[in-house]
A and B are shown apart, each in its own frame.
Chain A
């Protein structure tokens, strides 16, 4: 059978993908890590400086601000999107002709991050935005949703909520559809009310879906760039930077490739850490199945 064909044919088929993948995905990681230990500006040759770049980063106030902002966005995403995706998923799960609602809630998901940022700029902008104009017409003071030093990460969380809750609700919907119906019916017959049913029966059954959504949010939080950049470009002097926007700034505004690579390596470690956690979670599932 040709399926047990010669090795060279098999490798040949993989070759184009393999080559491009190695050049543009594997090699950059190595290069980035390598450069993070060098002092390199722009494309001029650099020299080895050990952990200097990392130390510089940790001493830099803006690094911690970026870290804090990314943290707020990630945790904020958990707190807002998980419950709302659950609710929206339940809503979409009702046996009615509801594809219109599903379609509509998914629309923000197909936008690029920068487009979502642009749209929300006109809602969040302190002077012409929808929010502040509503506040003013009700007699209160305008709020610095973006452009201030504090509120931006929360505003970004809101934008992400709008953009991605549809996606997560579809994941939850799939999770709901895979639940064993008999357990729920048994609970119903046993007299559990909606609250108890949800808490004790449904939630445990969709644990996997929650994990998957959580991982997406974690990765999204670590990599958060487009929306923040579009809304504030990093905020007044870097006060609203995220890990990714600060990396971008270091590498392509200051052209400080050394320190920028250090920042990028930190993001890389966080991302890989997340993947490892996810792998752990999945294998544990395999053990109990």
Chain B
């Protein structure tokens, strides 16, 4: 008897918590089906028509397809390149021993120190650097999507170093030694033996990397100027300006943006939650 009573209380509390977290989303979706007249005059009323054509219209007006592509391009390239070069450097830090351990640790702590640098201390210089690059390689200059590539890679260095070095240190040396005895050179050991071993850590780092870059706003806001090159967070802010009083459109656009992100999260939630918790504790 006590057990079932406890269970009811538990789930009651759980439901309250769920509602508290989900209400903002629900309110947003609810409002998104109304046209502006409905939003302003009678926010609580049911929408007159559950109109999906409004959604399609907003999709086109906000050029959501282009936005998704932009974000996807920059996220995949930044994440891909940063994972590769950080795997190399983390392997070097974790594994390759010089006569003194000092250099290992120096580079490790040097990279880790980057976690405490607020991005606002970097913005102006990133702007200046990118401006200079515009003169040399226009494709990577101000206003271009690819200008984000290098800054985004650099932003990931501290975090990825933390996670990857941690993961690499737990690989048993015997594994590598066996590979060497079998005649592998350095790269073969790294990529064919060690990398598969740390796949969970690698995956977690990759997914959190994705998430971080997808959601990044400050750097994008100073480097991107043309509508064609916007990433999603940037466009989110500009919805407020572009759609001014068309709150319905804003909400519809926001909902459409949220859906892939939430789906991504639901698929990878185990990695995301565990990864963030572990990174938090270690950091």
Binding site for B on A (CB under 8 A): 1-5, 7, 9-11, 13-18, 20-21, 23-25, 27-29, 31-32, 35, 43, 88, 91, 94, 96, 98, 101-115, 118-123, 127-128, 130, 133, 137, 162, 166-167, 170-171, 173-174, 209, 212, 216, 219, 222-223, 225-226, 229-230, 244, 247-248, 251-252, 257, 260-261, 264-265, 267-268, 271-272, 274-275
Contact = CB atoms under 8 A, between A and B. Distances in A.
Interface of B: 7, 10, 13-14, 17-18, 20-25, 27-28, 31, 39-40, 43-44, 85-86, 88-89, 91-93, 95-98, 103, 107, 110-111, 113-129, 131, 150-151, 153-155, 157, 161, 173, 176-177, 180, 185-186, 189, 211, 214-218, 221-222, 232-233, 236-237, 239-240, 247, 250-251, 254, 257-258, 261-262, 265-266, 269, 272-273, 276-277, 280-281
Contact of B125 (A10, A28, A102, A133): A28
Given A28-B121, A31-B125, A174-B281, A110 B265 contact: yes
A24 B154 contact: yes
B211 A110 contact: yes
A88 B107 contact: no
A250 B120 CA distance: 11
A226 B281 CA distance: 24
Contacts of B129: 23-24
Given A252-B222, A257-B124, A10 B21 contact: no
Closest 9 A/B residue pairs (Cβ):
A112-B215, A24-B154, A28-B125, A28-B122, A275-B116, A17-B89, A13-B92, A16-B85, A14-B89
Given A13-B91, A17-B89, A118-B239, A4 B97 contact: yes
Contacts of B218: 225-226, 248
Contacts of B281: 171, 174, 209, 212
Contacts of B111: 17, 21
A133 B45 CA distance: 11
Contacts of A2: 180, 185-186, 189
A2 B180 CA distance: 8
Contacts of B115: 275
B140 to A, nearest CB: 13
12 contacts: A11-B92, A16-B89, A28-B121, A43-B131, A104-B17, A118-B239, A122-B247, A167-B276, A171-B280, A252-B123, A268-B121, A275-B116
A230 B186 contact: no
Contact of B121 (A16, A96, A105, A264): A264
Contacts of B107: 14, 18
Given A170-B277, A171-B280, A248-B123, A113 B217 contact: yes
B17 A5 contact: no
Contacts of A271: 116-118
Contact of B273 (A25, A170, A226, A244): A170
A108 B115 CA distance: 23
Given A118-B236, A244-B118, A88 B17 contact: yes
B273 A102 contact: yes
A268 B237 contact: no
Given A122-B28, A122-B247, A133-B44, A20 B254 contact: no
Nearest to A33: B121
Given A17-B86, A225-B218, A110 B272 contact: yes
Contacts of B14: 91, 98, 101
B125 A96 contact: no
Contact of B277 (A10, A171, A219): A171
Given A101-B18, A115-B258, 14 more contacts: A16-B89, A17-B88, A23-B150, A31-B128, A103-B273, A107-B21, A114-B217, A114-B236, A118-B250, A119-B28, A216-B280, A247-B123, A264-B124, A272-B116
A94 B11 CA distance: 11
A167 B18 CA distance: 15
Given A2-B186, A20-B154, A14 B126 contact: no
Given A112-B236, A170-B276, A17 B119 contact: no
Nearest to B152: A24
A20 B157 contact: yes
A110 B269 CA distance: 10
